[in-house]
Amino acid sequence: MNTRCGYVAIIGRPNVGKSTLLNRLLGQKISITSKKPQTTRHNLLGIKTTGDAQVLFVDTPGIHSNEPRAINRYMNRAALSALRDVDVVLFLIDREKFSEDDEKVAELFRNAHGHKILVINKIDLMSNKSTLLPMLQKLQVAFPEASLVPVSAEKGVNLEELEKVIVSGLPESPFYYDEDQVTDRSERFLVAEVIREKLMRQLGDELPYSLTIQVDRFEEDEKIAHIDATIFVEKDGQKRILIGKSGEKLKRVGTDARTDIEELLQKKVMLNTWVKVKSGWSDDERAIKSLGYDDV
């Protein structure tokens, strides 16, 4: 049997739905999501094996034109690195908005190698469906080399068609990973991301970008996992906000995170979290490297 296998980079501006699309295509959650831009900070490999095809999706941080801090520059470098040596580039855009950040991604998309797919997301939210065809025609003129596929990542609309187009762009190749493997990331990494997701969802607009997670202890046996994690913020005031009155906010984050981690690990979890101040970590190249941002 001839098999196909290759890398598919998912690129787009922040908060356009890349992680939601990846989770939908995989049929399980490996990439964290929130309504806040720049939730994804690392490239994350998602592996989907069906029949004679293995698709290696690379979920990337949102590419943005503004790079105020070292962490933003790292995220842009991570996203750009995903475009090297991929077989398919999937450019995700919103159905009605095309921003300055979209323009930056579009330029990279046009210059990328490999099969190009332009995915128009959130079509379920289009108030007037009759505008879809003219929009597709306009996009086809702007991106003549690309296949166009309208979808709703949130609702799972038209994803079968998208998968067919993706697989058609993959080279004939043996599989790179075991058929039951879903990601190349460690459970330790995924646990830290789950905790960060819960913080992103519960905190205000500014604080999530000033925090990061470090898993200090990860020990497990057949029935239980013992996990200790430190949440680093940049200021004492942020620490107080995160902990909340009588520790209630941090306790709620821990409870929500533990539920998801138990589902991920398929066992009982004992989770302990602490909050520490590491001043200026997000704009310090050495600090972000020491905190795990060193994979590009």
Domains of the chain by residue range = 4-168, 187-290
Single-letter code of the amino acid located at 48: K
**Angle of the 187-202 helix axis to the 248-265 helix axis, nearest 10:** 140
**Quick one: CATH architecture of 187-290?**
2-Layer Sandwich (3.30)
| pLDDT one-digit tens code per residue, 234-254 | 999 999 989 988 999 999 999
Instruction: Tell me the whole-structure pTM to 2 decimals.
Output: 0.82
Burial of residue 81 (CB within 10 Å: 0-12, 13-18, 19+) is: middle
CA distance 4 to 87: 11
Range of 20-24, 63-67, 203-207 with top mean pLDDT? 20-24
Residue 66, pLDDT score: 65
Residue 225, pLDDT score: 96
Single-letter code of the amino acid located at 208: P
Residue 294, pLDDT score: 67
- How confident is the model over 119-137, as a mean pLDDT? 83
4-168: CATH number: 3.40.50.300
HSE value, Cβ hemisphere, 13 Å, CA-based, for 132 = 16
CA distance 31 to 215: 17
Burial of residue 182 (CB within 10 Å: 0-12, 13-18, 19+) is: middle
| pLDDT one-digit tens code per residue, 78-96 | 667 777 778 999 999 987 7
CA distance 80 to 9: 10
